[in-house]
């Protein structure tokens, strides 16, 4: 009996039966890629279902995540904790088998996929992490590959070109991509929109490219073997037929995103001689896959033996990367009142933390001098893989996905930087980081219209409100250098989700926060006491709020000033703390150089929100402050008028 063929048939049958039972899903891709998957998992992949999070396991990423039943079938058959009951409950409430894979490393699911191209970009980040850690620790402890499945849609999305270009420049030889080239998308044949020579594109980007019949398992095996041996990243173009074997829907777009139907399924099963009831797996297939998994179990045992033999110094170093202690920045020793750009304070903090956290790595989208993201005293990764500076190039979207991949890989705390306005370019990656609880850090500088002369194309207005609307994302906009240091401590102390650090281009005064150190971790706190009204501000506007409060004091008004660097953390505090900060019954106003959208959560229905609900303008930032009413005098006058009119 050809157990591998039986395994392929089982993958196809499980996938189409689960989609049919759910009455929704994508049966065509699992049927088309079953041969490729059976070869990779059966002959090459080194994973251990008994220890799914073993550090030196191969990573497998299903970027074309709509074909999720392919992954769930493989996990179940290979002995990961994905049961037949979970397969039966595909796409149902509370199931561990949702419509698109969601990161659950203990189940063997390395990353959340579905938004096309994201998995590919994330896989590039995983390969970057592996290459760096292999250079640091040697291939006795780190020596694995990242395998990623992609479809036509993945390679149409622009992120794939960004990420592939980066991977080719970095020479990520342990990255292997298997491309399901079935020439079908939801709308029909890809000839309508996608006629480029993909192999030639990847050749030009510095990849090894191989072209095979994706239903010829010997050809798949040979190609993967050649890819493993090549020092370049590899793209294996696998020519397949969607819904391979279906009597009337093979090669049809109708099989992409809809169940095949009972008649088509019956015809397919008859064609392959399948007589077992739905969701029944032959014992021979379980044996086949679980014997294949012995390859990973053996590799894991060998790795554990090597790891147990390392000396105390190496063990402590490993601990510092994979299980770091919470960092502490300490005082930056800036004089109160001195003007310091929070982006520059951030750069100083990065370098102080880098000495404490060897796994802190990062870079920016070709904006290192402006974002202040360079780590001193370490080379660039592309020149020396032990280097901690990653030059992402003008590729914000790929950078975001790669940062996520490094964060998910383990052993590193990565960050990526760009101008705040260009968070639009990496927003899908930020969203997936939040969905996956990935501890990615995004350094976003030039945070308001006060970046000045570059004008409205570069001046973020709506971006704070937009990112604050994203669940599970911390958006921290510190008021000065001291808050910036504490913001970094928060970001690095967080292991269950991503953080955006939103920083100024212009200098802002260092505040007198004596006795208030550490309060940024609450999200918001009282910076200046007051009993008549409350003014809540963020970022560079906090200093303006304090000066406005001094002006109002001369008018007999006691204004409380609250710094609110992180809404999400503040709203996570208990009601007693929030009330103590905002004051029960006091009128509340807000001050922020951005959209007022959302500030009603703070100020209430009768509060005042001072903001900028239009695009900016090109001028020196001092002129913009005057024109937009963000001088202390203008803010004090606005508050006085509002309070007298109540």
264 and 295 in one domain?
yes
Give which of 85, 99, 112 is closest to 19, Cα–Cα: 99
- 147 vs 124: CA distance, rounded Å: 10
* Cα distance between the two ends of the chain: 86
Indicate whether 476 and 376 sit together in one domain.
Answer: yes
* Tens of pLDDT, residues 133-157: 999 999 999 999 999 999 999 999 9
Domain that holds residue 137: 3-301
Nearest to 446 by CA among 354, 546, 364: 364
| Together in a domain, 535 and 498 | no
Which of 486, 509, 532 finishes a domain?
509
**Domain final residue pick, 509, 540, 571:** 509
**Nearest-angstrom CA–CA distance, 42 and 291:** 8
The answer to whether residue 111 is domain-embedded is: yes
- The residue-averaged pLDDT of 617-642 equals 97
- Mean pLDDT for the stretch of residues 196-224: 98
Beta-sheet pairing, 588-591 with 533-537: parallel
**What whole-number distance in Å separates Cα of residue 447 and Cα of residue 493?**
23
pLDDT digits (tens, 9 = 90+) for 246-257: 999 999 999 999
- Point out the domain boundary residue: 460, 490, 509: 509
User: How far apart (Å, rounded) are the C-alpha atoms in residues 207 and 209?
Assistant: 6
Q: Please check whether residues 111 and 233 belong to one and the same domain.
A: yes
Q: Where are the alpha helices (DSSP H) in 23-91?
A: 28-39, 68-78, 84-88
Task: Give yes or no: residues 260 and 165 share one domain.
Answer: yes
Shared domain for 432 and 489, answered yes or no, is yes
- Do residues 33 and 240 make contact, with C-beta atoms less than 8 angstroms apart? yes
Asked if the structure places residue 364 within a domain, the reply is yes
Positions marked catalytic: 396
**pLDDT at residue 646 above 90?**
no
Encode pLDDT of 92-127 as tens digits.
Answer: 999 999 999 999 999 999 999 999 999 999 999 999
Strand, coil or helix: what is 501?
strand
Are residues 528 and 560 located together in one domain of the fold? yes
pLDDT in tens, 577-614: 999 999 888 999 999 999 999 999 999 999 999 999 99
For residue 226, CA distances in Å to 174, 221, 302, 442, 609 come to 12, 9, 24, 37, 62
Average pLDDT score over the chain:
97
R_g (Cα) of the chain, nearest Å = 27
Q: What are phi and psi of 213, to 5 degrees?
A: -80, 115
C-beta atoms surrounding 248 within 10 Å: 15
Beta carbons of 236 and 263 less than 8 angstroms apart: no
In a domain, 15, yes or no: yes
Whether residue 307 lies inside any domain: the answer is no
312-354 pLDDT, tens digit each: 999 999 999 999 998 899 889 999 999 999 999 999 999 999 9
Choose among 102, 99, 58, 98: nearest CA to 78.
Answer: 58
Sheet of strand 175-181, all strands in order from the earlier edge strand to the far edge: 59-62, 146-151, 175-181, 234-239, 208-213
The verdict on 251 and 373 lying in the same domain is: no
Please state the pTM of the whole predicted model.
0.97
Instruction: Tell whether 272 and 157 lie within a shared domain.
Output: yes
Quick one: 252 and 355 in the same domain?
no
Helices within 148-282 (DSSP H only):
152-156, 158-170, 198-204, 217-229, 262-272
| 1 has pLDDT over 80 | no
In a domain, 38, yes or no: yes
Same structural domain for residues 405 and 537? Answer: no
Domain holding 625: CATH number? 3.40.50.920
Distance (Å, whole) CA 441 – CA 456: 26
Domain count, the chain: 3
Q: Could you tell me the CATH number of the domain that includes residue 468? A: 3.40.50.970
Sequence-ordered alpha helix ranges (H) in 357-422: 368-371, 396-409
Say if residue 487's pLDDT is above 80. yes
Same domain, 528 and 447: no
How far apart are the C-alpha atoms of 564 and 122, rounded to whole Å? 32
């Amino acid at each position: 009996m050809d157990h591998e063929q039986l395994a392929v048939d089982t993958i196809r049958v499980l996938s189409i039966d689960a989609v049919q039972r759910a009455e929704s899903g994508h049966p065509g891709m699992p049927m088309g890629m079953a041969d490729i998957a059976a070869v990779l998992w059966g002959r090459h992949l080194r994973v251990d279902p008994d220890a799914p999070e073993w550090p030196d396991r191969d990573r497998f990423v299903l970027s074309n995540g709509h074909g999720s039943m392919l992954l769930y079938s493989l996990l179940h058959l290979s002995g990961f904790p994905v049961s037949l009951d979970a397969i039966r409950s595909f796409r149902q409430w509370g199931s561990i088998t949702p419509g698109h894979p969601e990161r659950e490393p203990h189940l063997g699911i390395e990353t959340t996929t579905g938004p096309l191209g994201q998995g590919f970009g994330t896989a590039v980040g995983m390969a970057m992490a592996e290459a760096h850690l292999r250079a640091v620790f040697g291939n006795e402890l780190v020596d694995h590959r990242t395998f990623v499945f992609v479809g036509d849609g993945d390679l149409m999305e622009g992120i794939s070109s960004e990420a592939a270009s980066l991977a080719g420049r970095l020479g990520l030889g342990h990255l292997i991509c298997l491309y399901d080239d079935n020439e079908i998308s939801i709308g029909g044949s890809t000839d309508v929109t996608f006629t480029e020579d993909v192999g030639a594109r990847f050749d030009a980007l510095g990849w090894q490219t191989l072209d095979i019949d994706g239903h010829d398992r010997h050809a798949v095996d040979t190609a993967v073997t050649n890819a493993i041996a090549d020092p370049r990243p590899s793209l294996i173009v696998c020519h397949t037929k969607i819904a391979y074997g279906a009597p009337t829907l093979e090669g049809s777009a109708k099989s992409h995103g809809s169940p095949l139907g009972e008649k088509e399924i019956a015809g397919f099963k008859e064609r392959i001689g399948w007589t077992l009831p739905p969701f029944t797996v032959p014992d021979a297939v379980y044996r086949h896959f679980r014997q294949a998994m012995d390859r990973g179990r053996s590799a894991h045992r060998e790795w554990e033996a090597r790891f147990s033999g390392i000396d105390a110094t190496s063990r402590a170093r490993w601990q510092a990367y994979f299980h770091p202690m919470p960092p502490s920045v300490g005082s930056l020793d800036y004089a109160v009142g001195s003007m310091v750009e929070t982006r520059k304070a951030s750069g100083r903090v990065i370098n102080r933390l880098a000495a404490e956290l060897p796994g802190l790595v990062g870079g920016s989208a070709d904006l290192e001098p402006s974002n202040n993201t360079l780590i001193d005293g370490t080379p660039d990764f592309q020149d020396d893989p032990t280097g901690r500076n990653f030059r992402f190039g003008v590729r914000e979207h790929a950078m975001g996905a790669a940062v996520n991949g490094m964060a998910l890989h383990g052993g590193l705390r990565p960050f990526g930087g760009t101008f705040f306005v260009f968070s639009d370019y990496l927003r899908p990656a930020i969203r997936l980081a939040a969905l996956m609880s990935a501890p990615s850090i995004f350094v976003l500088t030039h945070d308001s219209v006060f970046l000045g002369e570059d004008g409205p194309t570069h001046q973020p207005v709506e971006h704070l409100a937009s990112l604050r609307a994203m669940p599970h994302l911390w958006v921290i906009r510190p008021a000065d250098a001291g808050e910036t240091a504490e913001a970094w401590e928060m970001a690095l102390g967080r292991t269950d989700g991503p953080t955006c650090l939103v920083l100024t281009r212009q200098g802002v005064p260092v505040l007198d926060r004596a006795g208030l150190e550490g309060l940024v971790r609450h999200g918001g706190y009282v910076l200046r006491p007051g009993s008549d009204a409350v003014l809540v501000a963020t970022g560079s506007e906090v200093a303006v709020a304090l000066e406005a409060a001094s002006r109002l004091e001369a008018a007999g008004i006691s204004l409380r000033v609250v710094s609110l660097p992180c809404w999400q953390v503040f709203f996570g505090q208990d009601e007693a703390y929030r009330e103590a900060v905002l004051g029960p019954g006091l009128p509340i106003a807000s001050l922020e150089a951005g959209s007022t959208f959302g500030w009603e959560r703070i100020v209430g229905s009768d509060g005042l929100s001072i903001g900028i609900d239009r695009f900016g303008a090109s001028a020196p930032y001092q002129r913009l402050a005057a024109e937009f009413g963000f001088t202390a005098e203008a803010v004090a006058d606005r508050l006085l008028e509002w309070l007298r009119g109540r």
